[in-house]
Amino acid sequence: MADSLSPECTPLKHEYDSCFNAWFEGYLEPAVAASSNAEARSAYSKRKAEEFNSKCGPIWEKYKACVQKAVKDKGLDVLLQQARDEHPLTEPPPPPPMSNPASTKKS
């Protein structure tokens, strides 16, 4: 696992990564099984979200607070705000156009 932005945050990052990975492994396989029925999928997703929040949510909040403090301490918050002001993401960017290999061939 990679280190965090700040050495003080790295133990929290590793703890969160481990929690998330364990939760996600348990999410994937049953999610595929529940995907054929919309009602079952919705109920399953709600249960898994609640499970994630109870198991990993507190760790995530601690890690996020640590990173936000590190960003501010390093003066990166000003740069992030400047980037947001200059290039606001009001909508997700569109997907890149698909190229047609047949139309790019030269005869």
58-102 pLDDT, tens digit each:
999 999 999 999 999 999 999 999 999 999 888 877 888 886 655
Compute the average pLDDT of residues 20-24: 92
Tokens for 14?
Answer: 């590793």
Are the C-beta atoms of residues 62 and 22 closer than 8 Å to each other?
Answer: no
pLDDT at 30 > cutoff 60: yes
Nearest Cα to Cα of residue 65 among 21, 23, 19, 16: 16
At 107, the pLDDT band (50, 70, 90 cuts) reads: very low
pTM of structure: 0.70
Between CA 67 and CA 4 the distance in angstroms is: 8
